[in-house]
A and B are shown apart, each in its own frame.
Chain A
Amino acid sequence: MKGFWQTWQPRHGVVIWALLAAVLVIASCWRYSAGLPLQTNLLALLPSTERNPVAENAVNTLASTAGDRVIFLVGHTDFEQAAAAARKFAQFLAQDKAFSQVTAEVPAVNLRALTGLYASHRYTLLSSEDRQLLQSGGADMPARLQRKLYAPFQFGLTLPLAQDPFGLADQWLASLPLRSFKLEPDSGLLVRHTDSQHWVLVTAQLSGSAYDGRIQNEASQAITKAEAEFAGQNVSLLRTGTLFYAHAARAQGEREANWIGAGSLLGMLLLLYRVFRSVRPLVLGLLSVAFGIGTALLGVVCMHGEIHLITLVFGASLIGEAVDYSVQYFAAHMGAGEDWEPMAGLRRIAAGLCVALLTSLLGYAVLLFAPFPALHQIALFAMFGLTSAWLTVFLLLPACLRQPSRRNPDEAVATPQRWLHTWQEVMTPKRSILLCGVLLLLSIPGWLRLSGDDDIRQLITRPPELNEQESRIRELTGFANSSQFFVSEGTTPEALLQAEEALGTRLETARTRGDITGYQAVSAFVPSARRQAENYALLLQQLFSPPQKLRRWFDEAGLEDTVATDQANAFKLAKDQQLTVAEWLQAPLSTPFRYLWIGETAQGYAAIVMPQGVRDATTLSRLAEGLPGITYVDKAGSVSALFREYRKWGAIWLGGALVLVFAVLRLRYGWRDATLVFVPTLLSFAVTLAIFGWIGRPLTLFNLMGMMLLLGIGVNYSVFLREGGVNAAATLAGVGLSAGTTLLSFGLLAFSSMPALAGFGMTLLTGIAIAVLLSPLGYSNRSAT
């Protein structure tokens, strides 16, 4: 070590730093030539939660299909006008390259083709009601025949009398979950008529990802322009889609990153100038921060291929912490006065800087182990950034700060000196202990009132205006929220359908209880081969044997003789002519429902069962219990559960980290002093927790993450002060300055619209304030040296 300090010259450092900075600039220019790869997708933030990879895949597929679609409702009090406006709107959007497809006109549903598929399989398909009725033997078939004959009109989808004399196929068609929404076809459009307005549906498919900034801008511009086309015509436009949320989030995130960054920077410069009254520290401080943030950005982008919005906003607040190391050097410079010698000054604070960096890195390193990609990025960003800023102090600063400070050190540190004196006078060891005791006592009721919150909404803030439009569209169209569903699996399609049917029985019960209004499943359109064989056997037993029975019924009802003969023949031919999933998938009828079929997987086949009109999601999870091949998927619920798990895990880890950091301090300072250095941090934890309890704010995983950082940052102040020795007042000025900039950054972060980041900021704001106020504890009561 001695050898290093003797041979190392400040100019060596400058050369190395300049080289590193040049590499950074060139690499950055090259890497961002196509723009900063900014990620705004919320899903990219979330860890994979499903134990079943097929289920995890299903979540992602559903999200991306839904994500690239934009839904509009064009409304007017007059239907003709609404229809005209919708057609024009769709035409306008279709011209823009941001959309690959825009649909307003829907082709008339060919009902004949729709019934055609099922007509040829009508003897193996039965609605569950009819199946039960036939099984019980209580079906009055002649009455069914009469009803088919005499009903004043045909309801919905029906087959002709000669094909389906008892209306069994009609009942099957009626049982299909075709209608999941409240829209109806009218004049070639999908329409919802309400008392006051007529709404026409227009859907658009984006030509790229909804998270792509270029697509977002193009699509938004096109929509605004199209909207302007019918300005002043009393046309209302409702919109929803991932596009709008992602676009709003991006704009919000960029705005926040900008003002938090600008605020931190400006505050930092003002504080630096206030203390040092010189431009040089300002420039050097900026350089160290720029080098730190630049490295961090490049590091994250290179390792992750992109940077998430949340990381960027957090990164803006790292400015305040990154400048701390330089501030320590400036403080030493100022404190030394005429006796300044750059390398000696560095040497004196080196140990403190190392301990400070080590504890900070420890704090952030923990986040690396959190299973959230976003936190992983934040940790990487901070570690790269802090290490680079720290390195700047060693490499660049000694060469640039050769001249002694022109400011009278006594004058510069007069205020902190006075403050420190007062602190020392007031805080006798006895009183210190008393203060700690009182703070702890006051904290206890706060701790008792602490509660936790693991809701996924911490991550998401949605503009209320968009939310309102979405809920109106949901209400008008009946489009369901698809965050909860089931995944069914089987080694063969038949096994899958049988698994779904077992679930279907439970879902039917749930429907009669009113827990759901219905469900969509492949098995609701294509029963398993086993069930189809049962249906056929049931019809054979109840209708077609003995053959005279059918003939007698038809004769009594006045049907021609050929009907009975044709029926019997068709029935014979239908044996083993079961409907298969493959056939259904090829029929046009299945188009809107094909998303239910995932298809072949590594283990066999998979499909989705989508419950509709879910009243209470908790009852759903129980439905899948004990059913082989059925997995309940609730992404929001799974993420919340994971939050809870890691919040508890994090609390335990935090305890461990406290011990670890104390061990590092103990190595350098010995038992007694290590305790004194550590007490302010410990108290800041205690009091921060208590404050959250007192103000009734539930703790989230992100508060806990904030505490982990607090551990790294808070202990720095005591370390700096403890290391400051003879220049204690100058160091205190430095510590005050550091704390000021850090508080400013995290304080600004506390006002972020992203609840996760606000939680972070809030924790650090209160924690650091307390840690810095108590930091002289370690210095004033230190062992005599």
Chain B
Amino acid sequence: MRALVRVISACQLFICAQVHAQSDDLLTRIAAQLDKHAVVRAEFAQSKQISGVKRPLQTSGQLIFARQYGVLWQIDKPYKVSYILSEEKIVEITADGGRKERLARDLPGLAQVGRVFRAMLGANTSALREHFDIEAKGEAGNWSLTLNPRQAQMAQFIEQIDIGGGAFVVAIRIQERGGDATQIKFRNSNGADTLSESERQLFGGSGKQ
């Protein structure tokens, strides 16, 4: 009897190890696949459920993810406003062109929020792993990641994050501690090697090389 238990445990261990190896391997492949493009342009549709609000809040617009520069998050509906997230700062650009900059290091946690958001959009697994335990499923053409916070600080706000995709990230779902949830879907994603001149100017020129 005892011997049998031992055999089963050994098998379990073996299977678990296999799953982990597979998961790590998949993560590497996902990362390599997404890493191919220096720039990704996509359309997004966001649906946010907040307590105190009757209907889910729908937002849509475009997104430019530039590995060197950061993320340009451009909301077209229900009103026009853009956000630029880079390593150093977060810029809000209103419809009338007004810019409001905030340095990432001026606020505790701001740098991390920005970093996690960028890592999510780019499925940057190594950056995400600093803050989350990642479980990967599926295959390179159709995968999903489940992220659970590793640190108490992050866990105060985030319960779980799910990211799904293939060649590009297709969907992100963020479940917050307080019950609020955000679902973001991406369409018409396409990769490019460089930003256009006008886009680069929006990012403020100098990128991290």
Which residue numbers of A lie inside 8 Å of B, CB to CB?
108-112, 146-147, 149-157, 160-162, 174, 178-179, 182, 184-188, 478, 557-560, 562-563
Interface size class of B (residues with CB under 8 A): 35 or more
Contact A560 B153, beta carbon cutoff 8 Å: no
In the complex, besides A150-B48, A160-B51, 15 extra interface pairs with C-beta distance below 8 angstroms are A108-B153, A109-B108, A111-B153, A150-B57, A152-B117, A154-B113, A155-B110, A157-B108, A157-B109, A162-B51, A182-B105, A184-B105, A184-B112, A185-B108, A558-B53
How far is B54's CA from A156's CA once the two chains are assembled, in angstroms?
Answer: 25
How far is B152's CA from A188's CA once the two chains are assembled, in angstroms?
Answer: 9
- Nearest-neighbour CB distance to chain B for A577, whole angstroms, equals 22
- Nearest-neighbour CB distance to chain B for A77, whole angstroms, equals 15
Could you list 14 examples of A-B contacts with CB < 8 Å? Answer: A111-B109, A150-B78, A150-B79, A153-B113, A154-B113, A155-B102, A155-B110, A156-B109, A160-B51, A161-B53, A179-B106, A188-B151, A557-B53, A563-B52
List B residues 110-141 near A (Cβ within 8 Å): 110-113, 117, 130
Contact A156 B153, beta carbon cutoff 8 Å: no
Q: Cβ of A558: which chain B residues have Cβ within 8 Å of it?
A: 53-55, 57
Q: Cβ of B57: which chain A residues have Cβ within 8 Å of it?
A: 149-150, 558
How far is B156's CA from A152's CA once the two chains are assembled, in angstroms?
Answer: 19
- Nearest-neighbour CB distance to chain A for B151, whole angstroms, equals 6
How far is B48's CA from A459's CA once the two chains are assembled, in angstroms?
Answer: 64
**Residue ID in chain A nearest B174 by CB atoms:** A153
Instruction: Flag whether B81 is at the interface (Cβ < 8 A).
Output: yes
Contact A146 B79, beta carbon cutoff 8 Å: yes
Instruction: Flag whether B31 is at the interface (Cβ < 8 A).
Output: no
Contact A155 B112, beta carbon cutoff 8 Å: no
How far is B103's CA from A182's CA once the two chains are assembled, in angstroms?
Answer: 11
Q: Cβ of B110: which chain A residues have Cβ within 8 Å of it?
A: 155-156
Given A155-B107, A155-B113, A558-B55, are A111 and B156 neighbors across the interface (CB < 8 Å)?
Answer: yes
**Residue ID in chain B nearest A146 by CB atoms:** B79
Q: Cβ of A110: which chain B residues have Cβ within 8 Å of it?
A: 156
Instruction: Flag whether B50 is at the interface (Cβ < 8 A).
Output: yes
Contact A174 B102, beta carbon cutoff 8 Å: yes
Q: Cβ of B102: which chain A residues have Cβ within 8 Å of it?
A: 155, 174
Given A174-B102, A187-B151, are A157 and B52 neighbors across the interface (CB < 8 Å)?
Answer: no
Residues 39-64 of chain B, each 1 if its beta carbon lies under 8 Å from chain A, else 0? 00000001010111111010100000
Contact A178 B107, beta carbon cutoff 8 Å: yes
Q: Cβ of B112: which chain A residues have Cβ within 8 Å of it?
A: 184
Most B CB atoms within 10 A — which of A146, A179, A563?
Answer: A179
- Nearest-neighbour CB distance to chain A for B48, whole angstroms, equals 8
Contact B52 A162, beta carbon cutoff 8 Å: yes
Most A CB atoms within 10 A — which of B57, B106, B157?
Answer: B106
Q: Cβ of A188: which chain B residues have Cβ within 8 Å of it?
A: 151
Instruction: Flag whether B168 is at the interface (Cβ < 8 A).
Output: no
**Residue ID in chain A nearest B90 by CB atoms:** A155
Given A111-B109, A150-B75, are A187 and B130 neighbors across the interface (CB < 8 Å)?
Answer: yes
* Nearest 9 CB-CB pairings of A with B: A156-B107, A108-B152, A162-B52, A108-B153, A156-B110, A563-B52, A558-B54, A150-B59, A179-B106
For B130, give its contact among A151, A155, A156, A186 (CB under 8 Å): A186
Q: Cβ of B75: which chain A residues have Cβ within 8 Å of it?
A: 150, 152
**Residue ID in chain A nearest B58 by CB atoms:** A150
**Residue ID in chain A nearest B71 by CB atoms:** A152
How far is B106's CA from A182's CA once the two chains are assembled, in angstroms?
Answer: 8
Instruction: Flag whether B207 is at the interface (Cβ < 8 A).
Output: no
**Residue ID in chain A nearest B177 by CB atoms:** A112
How far is B109's CA from A532's CA once the two chains are assembled, in angstroms?
Answer: 27
Contact B130 A161, beta carbon cutoff 8 Å: no
Instruction: Flag whether B178 is at the interface (Cβ < 8 A).
Output: yes
Contact A161 B50, beta carbon cutoff 8 Å: yes
How far is B102's CA from A188's CA once the two chains are assembled, in angstroms?
Answer: 25
How far is B79's CA from A557's CA once the two chains are assembled, in angstroms?
Answer: 13
- Nearest-neighbour CB distance to chain B for A718, whole angstroms, equals 69
**Residue ID in chain B nearest A160 by CB atoms:** B178
Instruction: Flag whether B65 is at the interface (Cβ < 8 A).
Output: no
How far is B67's CA from A36's CA once the two chains are assembled, in angstroms?
Answer: 64
Instruction: Flag whether B69 is at the interface (Cβ < 8 A).
Output: no
For A559, give its contact among B54, B105, B109 (CB under 8 Å): B54
Instruction: Flag whether B143 is at the interface (Cβ < 8 A).
Output: no
Contact A178 B108, beta carbon cutoff 8 Å: yes
How far is B81's CA from A559's CA once the two chains are assembled, in angstroms?
Answer: 21
- Nearest-neighbour CB distance to chain A for B134, whole angstroms, equals 16
- Nearest-neighbour CB distance to chain B for A148, whole angstroms, equals 9
**Residue ID in chain A nearest B56 by CB atoms:** A558
For A560, give its contact among B48, B53, B107 (CB under 8 Å): B53
Instruction: Flag whether B83 is at the interface (Cβ < 8 A).
Output: yes
Given A146-B79, A150-B75, A179-B105, are A185 and B52 neighbors across the interface (CB < 8 Å)?
Answer: no
- Nearest-neighbour CB distance to chain B for A199, whole angstroms, equals 14
How far is B54's CA from A162's CA once the two chains are assembled, in angstroms?
Answer: 12
Q: Cβ of B152: which chain A residues have Cβ within 8 Å of it?
A: 108
Given A150-B57, A563-B52, are A156 and B79 neighbors across the interface (CB < 8 Å)?
Answer: no
Q: Cβ of A187: which chain B residues have Cβ within 8 Å of it?
A: 130, 151
Contact A149 B53, beta carbon cutoff 8 Å: yes
Q: Cβ of A562: which chain B residues have Cβ within 8 Å of it?
A: 52
How far is B111's CA from A155's CA once the two chains are assembled, in angstroms?
Answer: 9
Contact B50 A149, beta carbon cutoff 8 Å: yes
Q: Cβ of B130: which chain A residues have Cβ within 8 Å of it?
A: 186-187
**Residue ID in chain B nearest A557 by CB atoms:** B53
- Nearest-neighbour CB distance to chain A for B67, whole angstroms, equals 16
Contact B107 A179, beta carbon cutoff 8 Å: yes
Q: Cβ of A150: which chain B residues have Cβ within 8 Å of it?
A: 48, 57, 59, 75, 78-79, 81
How far is B184's CA from A153's CA once the two chains are assembled, in angstroms?
Answer: 11
Q: Cβ of A559: which chain B residues have Cβ within 8 Å of it?
A: 52-54
**Residue ID in chain A nearest B107 by CB atoms:** A156
Q: Cβ of A182: which chain B residues have Cβ within 8 Å of it?
A: 105
Residues 9-21 of chain B, each 1 if its beta carbon lies under 8 Å from chain A, else 0? 0000000000000
Residues 141-167 of chain B, each 1 if its beta carbon lies under 8 Å from chain A, else 0? 000000000011100110000000000
How far is B7's CA from A593's CA once the two chains are assembled, in angstroms?
Answer: 59
Given A111-B156, A157-B109, A185-B153, are A152 and B83 neighbors across the interface (CB < 8 Å)?
Answer: yes
- Nearest-neighbour CB distance to chain B for A511, whole angstroms, equals 12
